[in-house]
Homo-oligomer: A and B are copies of this chain.
Amino acid sequence: MQGKYRALWLNDDDFLEVIDQTKLPFSYETKVLKTTDEVVTAIKDMTVRGAGVIGSVAAFGIYTASMEVKSYDELKEKVKFIRESRPTAVNLMWAVDRMMEYLKDSTNLVEDSKKYATELNDEEALESQNIAKYGCDIIEDILKKKDKKIINILTHCNAGWLAVIDEGTALAPIYEAKKRGIDVHVWVDETRPRNQGASLTAWELTQSGVNHTIIADNTGGHLMQIGEVDMVITGADRVSANGDVANKIGTYLKALAAYDNNVPFYVAIPVSTFDFDIKDGVKEIPIELRSEDEVKYMRGVDCDGVVREVLITPKDSPAINYGFDVTPARLITGLITDKGICEADFQEIKKKFN
């Protein structure tokens, strides 16, 4: 299993290869993305997903595109499709912009784009390692303050190594805690409608030997009421200048419950997730509408081991599928970034990062 702790890599033929995350947790399969079209499709159909991984795939996607073109201008045209493949992903925009800036004066697009994409990937790995350290310091503080031996952390969606190189964002402090010998248990939100928690996070944590329990998205509030959650850590797709957080739909509900029960609510992000152009996240961040079929159909494995998709609603009942919501900064205890902890506050963010 080449990609055991990596979501993407360059294979022996120097093509971009990725774990097909739509097949998890039922089977481990990889896909080679040889054309720009295949890269765009992989992002759109969520073969790859997660803020960081989408950024990395976009960067290597530009390398893939560079093999199909003769000039920077032609590359720019191809890259438009990559840019438009996922409107909410600020990391994708950031990676594309940076790559294209680097390549402006390149005389060898293929070689240079490969080099820059690799660099970007390595930087991201370093960011994840820093998030791990800063986040784990908070875990140790909470344990000390509560005089507890086990920490119960709730997470929503998947922000581990399937989402962000190298060990993720939200899950990085958890992996670090395990390394430091801390007894850690994770409440894994199922994360309907695509079930990234129940499938990807639970699979990742199983691979990594981390104790966890899957819960329906409805359950977190009750667990907080009865004192079974010591902290929440989620990732984010975009954080506005005022500290509002766009993340997987349902994050806002968990933040409300955490606030109501005095449970610390942290968001783990690389600094590249900030979108300083957006002053008010709740009002301004656009929310992706996805297919109703993601709500109406469910994929799983039957008693004979066959993966099947089943309709779980009345056929004619319509459904609506918003991919994200925005959690107001006032509900967030802090942002765990690769440059340290920061309050979710306009002035603080400006002082530290802008």
Q: Is the interface of A mostly helix, strand, loop or mixed?
A: mixed
- What B residues does A225 contact at CB under 8 A? 252, 282, 325-326
What is the chain B residue whose CB lies nearest that of A223? B322
Q: Is B221's CB under 8 angstroms from A312's CB? A: no
Q: Are A222 and B252 in contact (CB under 8 A)?
A: yes
Checking B253, B287, B302 against A253 with a beta-carbon cut-off of 8 angstroms, the contacting residue is: B253
The 10 lowest CB-CB distance pairs between A and B, nearest first, are: A218-B250, A300-B310, A222-B325, A192-B216, A256-B256, A214-B319, A202-B317, A300-B312, A25-B314, A221-B252
Selected A-B contacts with CB under 8 Å, 18 pairs = A25-B313, A202-B313, A212-B317, A213-B318, A214-B295, A214-B296, A214-B319, A216-B217, A216-B249, A218-B253, A218-B325, A222-B249, A222-B287, A222-B324, A298-B310, A298-B312, A300-B310, A303-B309
CB–CB B295/A297 < 8 A = no
**Would you call A69 an interface residue if the criterion is a C-beta within 8 Å of the partner chain's C-beta atoms?**
no
Copies in the complex: 2
Contact A322 B222 (CB under 8 A): yes
Stretch binding the partner chain, chosen from A35-43, A55-63, A193-201, A334-342: A193-201
B221 touching A317, Cβ below 8 Å: no
- B296, B299, B300: which contacts A297 (Cβ < 8 A)? B300
Which residue among A188, A198, A213, A218 has the maximum number of chain B CB atoms within 10 Å of its CB? A218
Interface check A257, CB cutoff 8 A: yes
B309 near A302 with CB under 8 A, answer: yes
Interface residue A144 (Cβ < 8 Å from any Cβ of B) = no
Q: A245-256 interface mask toward B, CB cutoff 8 Å, 1 = contact, 0 = none?
A: 000111011101
